């Protein structure tokens, strides 16, 4: 297996970007990635996207995006694993390069959510239609059930959940690409309107448009593109039951644990080696559960991590320095790739006010559904 490096990155700002269509967003991010590396051709393109079909009626994104990038003819396909589509596309791109099948691979993630689709219903299609959605559950509702189970088991409080949002908004206030750059207080979070008890509006990531793209190549060819490549040293994918009711412990995300274990094993590192991480905080409780399941924080101790400063910039393990899904925004298919870009920039020392000092090894964790799929990548600066 060949060593794989990220050598270029590009992304749009995240937010309600009414002037840009699904393809516009893709082209901006993809061209940005290619230009940043001075690349004029790729061997294949993987497009992470949850639901172009339901959001804007557009499927068949592989050829569409290749064509609009001026690269019709190249191998291209869409990769889907709900909100983990971007991370899954990165895993596919990694395998294409590592296996020797492709030398230059463009991995992109894109989602256009604000063109008028019924977003709650589209997102719910990542849950079990027959046993969950039929009865009226929503995605915030599923994570609310995870939150209540975590409260029962570990004594987690609504204030603990609020601190995750406070921390991530603080980080996001330093990110020019973030959808929401305003800071929030615990009091504001706890006063925001209820969405699904115990989750309030400010515990939830927003509806967003956006795209992100990275260029991968074998490490031994990286110097063609950049003098600061970042190695992808581990990748892990895992699944769990799609229905929450089928999980013995609804407060624990088994797919996150398994995907992280696989990535750590491939990378030859342990959670203690990770210096910066982006995890899937689609709802505040998700960050807590993902930190525990990935081993970055001890099981049952995730709730206090944000309030205590452990996961803040300057803390032991800064988490979601980009602002996370909560503040940066969550264009679902783009999220996994945007997480990779944040760590890529951190390990190159390019994160400006958000820079984690001397960061050498970083991790991203991207999740689909209520935890039915999870993708973890581990990166090392060169």
Partner 1 sequence: MPSPRYWRERANRFRLEAARCKGCDRVTYPARTICPSCRGTDLETLNLSRKGKVVTSTVVHVGPSEFTMEAPYAMAVVETPEGGRLMVQVVDCEPSDVQPGLEVSLEFRLIRREGHSGILCYGHKGVPVG
Of the residues 27, 84, 178, 244, which one makes contact with partner 1 according to CB under 8 A? 244
Q: Which is nearer to partner 1, 93 or 140 (CB)?
A: 140
Q: Which is nearer to partner 1, 97 or 282 (CB)?
A: 282
- Residues within window 63-102 making contact with partner 1, judged by CB under 8 A: none
Q: State the minimum distance, in angstroms, from the CB of residue 240 to partner 1.
A: 10
Q: Which is nearer to partner 1, 11 or 149 (CB)?
A: 149
- Choose one: 62-70, 119-127, 281-289, 315-323; the region binding partner 1 (CB under 8 A): 119-127
- Choose one: 47-55, 88-96, 238-246, 374-382; the region binding partner 1 (CB under 8 A): 238-246
Tell me 269's DSSP state. -
d(CA 211, CA 62): 14
- Choose one: 18-26, 135-143, 230-238, 354-362; the region binding partner 1 (CB under 8 A): 135-143
Rule CB under 8 A: is residue 28 a binding residue for partner 1? no
Of the residues 133, 186, 219, 266, which one makes contact with partner 1 according to CB under 8 A? 133
Which tokens in the block code for residue 287? 């960050």
- Catalytic residue among 150, 171, 280, 330, which? 330
Of the residues 115, 191, 245, 299, which one makes contact with partner 1 according to CB under 8 A? 245
The residue behind tokens 């995907």 is: 259
Determine the 3-state secondary structure of 330 from DSSP. coil
d(CA 46, CA 279): 22
The question of whether 330 is a catalytic residue gets the answer yes
d(CA 284, CA 49): 23
d(CA 183, CA 163): 12
Residues 6+ apart with CB under 8 A from 333: 47, 48, 49, 50, 51, 52, 80, 83, 85, 86, 109, 110, 111
- Residues within window 190-209 making contact with partner 1, judged by CB under 8 A: 193-199
The CA-atom distances, in angstroms, between 187 and each of 79, 102, 245, 255, 302 are 40, 51, 33, 33, 21
Rule CB under 8 A: is residue 146 a binding residue for partner 1? yes
Rule CB under 8 A: is residue 238 a binding residue for partner 1? no
d(CA 143, CA 205): 12
Binding stretches for partner 1 (CB under 8 A):
118, 120-121, 124, 130-138, 140-141, 144-146, 148-149, 152, 193-199, 241, 243-246, 250-251
Residue numbers annotated as active site: 83, 330
């Amino acid at each position: 297996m060949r060593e794989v490096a990220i050598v270029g990155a590009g992304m749009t700002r995240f937010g309600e970007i009414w002037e840009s269509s699904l393809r516009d967003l893709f082209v901006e991010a993809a061209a940005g990635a290619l230009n940043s590396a001075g690349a004029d051709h790729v061997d294949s393109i993987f497009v992470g996207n949850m639901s172009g079909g339901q959001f804007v009626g557009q499927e068949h994104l592989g050829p569409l995006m290749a064509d609009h990038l001026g690269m019709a003819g190249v191998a291209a396909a869409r990769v889907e694993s709900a909100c983990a589509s971007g991370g899954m596309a990165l895993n596919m791109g990694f395998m294409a390069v590592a296996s020797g099948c492709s030398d230059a691979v463009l991995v992109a993630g894109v989602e256009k959510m604000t063109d008028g689709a019924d977003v709650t219903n589209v997102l719910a299609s990542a849950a079990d239609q027959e046993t969950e959605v039929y009865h009226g559950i929503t995605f915030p509702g599923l994570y609310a059930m995870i939150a209540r189970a975590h409260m029962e088991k570990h004594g987690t409080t609504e204030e603990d959940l609020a601190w995750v949002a406070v921390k991530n908004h603080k980080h996001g206030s330093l990110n020019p690409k973030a959808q929401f750059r305003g800071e929030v207080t615990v009091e504001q979070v706890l006063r925001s309107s209820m969405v699904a008890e115990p989750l309030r509006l400010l515990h939830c990531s927003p509806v967003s448009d956006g795209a992100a793209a990275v260029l991968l190549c074998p490490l031994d060819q990286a110097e063609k593109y950049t003098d600061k490549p970042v190695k992808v040293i581990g990748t892990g994918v895992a699944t769990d039951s799609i229905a929450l009711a089928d999980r013995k412990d609804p407060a624990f995300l088994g797919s996150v644990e398994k995907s992280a274990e696989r990535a750590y094993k491939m990378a030859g590192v342990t959670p203690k080696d990770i210096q910066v991480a982006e995890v899937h905080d689609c709802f505040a409780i998700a960050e807590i559960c993902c930190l525990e399941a990935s081993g970055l924080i001890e099981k049952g101790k995730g709730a206090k991590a944000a309030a205590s400063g452990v996961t803040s910039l300057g803390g032991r393990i800064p988490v979601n320095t980009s602002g996370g899904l909560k503040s940066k925004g969550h264009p679902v298919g783009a999220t996994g790739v945007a997480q990779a870009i944040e760590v890529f920039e951190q390990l190159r020392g390019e994160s400006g006010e958000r820079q984690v000092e001397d960061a050498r090894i970083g991790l991203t964790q991207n999740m689909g559904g209520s935890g039915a799929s999870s993708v973890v990548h581990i990166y090392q600066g060169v």
